[in-house]
Chain A
Amino acid sequence: MDNPTLRVPQINSGFSFSIARALLLLVGLIALLGMIYLTQSSQATMTGQHALELQDKLERLRRENAQLEYEIAALATPDKIAGRARRLGLRPATITQTTFVVVKNYPVLPPKPAPRNGESATLTASSLVELWWSELLSRLGWLSNARAVEASP
Chain B
Amino acid sequence: MAEPTLSRAPLRMRAALIIILAIGFFLAVRLFWWQIVEMDKLTRRGDDQLRYYAPIYARRGDIVTADATLLATDVFVYNITATPKDIYIPERVAQELGPILGQPSDTILAKLRSSATNVILAQNVPQSVGGPAQSLKDRLGLAALKVEGSSRRVYPASAFAAPVIGYVNALRQSAYGIEQYFETDLRGIDGEIRGSSNAFRDIIPFEVPAFHAATDGAKIVLTLHSGIQRIAEAELQSAIRETRAADGTIIVMDVRTGAILAMASYPTADLNAYYDPANTTKYSNPAISAQYEPGSVFKIITVACALDEGTVNINSSFDDTGSIIIGGRLIKNHGDIAPGHVSLTDVLRLSLNVEAAKISVGMGTERFYQCIRKFGFGSATRVDLAAEVAGKVKSVGDGEWREVDLATNAFGQGIAVTPLQMLVAVSAVANQGKLMHPHIVQEIQPANGKTRKTNSEVVRQVIRPETAQTLTRILAETIIAESTNKAIVPGYRIAGKTGTAQIPIAGILDPRWTIASFVGYLPADDPRYAILVKLDKPQTSEWGSQVASPVFASVAKQLVSMVGLPPDSVRIAGK
Contact = CB atoms under 8 A, between A and B. Distances in A.
Nearest to A106: B574
B564 A78 contact: no
Given A70-B156, A79-B230, A100-B567, A120 B453 contact: yes
B461 interface: no
A150 to B, nearest CB: 9
B443 A70 contact: no
Nearest to B74: A66
A41 B215 CA distance: 31
B570 A79 contact: no
Given A92-B561, A96-B490, A98-B564, A70 B208 contact: no
A22 interface: no
A148 B205 contact: no
User: Dominant SS at the A interface?
Assistant: helix
B213 A48 contact: no
A52 B205 contact: yes
B92 interface: no
A48 B75 CA distance: 28
Interface in B134-175: 154, 156-158, 160
A9 B476 CA distance: 129
Interface in B72-128: 73-76, 126-128
A76 interface: yes
Interface string B373-411: 000000000000000000000000000000000000000
Nearest to B443: A120
Interface in B528-575: 557-558, 560-562, 564-567, 570, 573-574
B211 A70 contact: no
A79 B226 CA distance: 10
B451 interface: yes
B455 A73 contact: no
Interface string A47-70: 111011001000110111011011
Contacts of B66: none
Interface stretch (A10-18, A23-31, A110-118): A110-118
User: Dominant SS at the B interface?
Assistant: mixed
Contact of A94 (B73, B203, B557): B557
A93 interface: yes
Nearest to B575: A102
B212 interface: yes
A28 to B, nearest CB: 27
Given A48-B205, A78-B69, A118-B450, A70 B213 contact: no
A45 B69 contact: no
B498 interface: no
Contacts of B567: 95, 100
Contacts of A143: 448
B552 to A, nearest CB: 15
B213 A151 contact: yes
11 contacts: A47-B208, A52-B195, A67-B127, A70-B73, A74-B156, A92-B558, A92-B562, A95-B490, A120-B453, A148-B212, A152-B211
Interface of A: 41, 44-49, 51-52, 55, 59-60, 62-64, 66-67, 69-70, 73-74, 76-79, 82, 92-96, 98, 100, 102-103, 114-115, 117-121, 134, 143-145, 147-148, 151-152
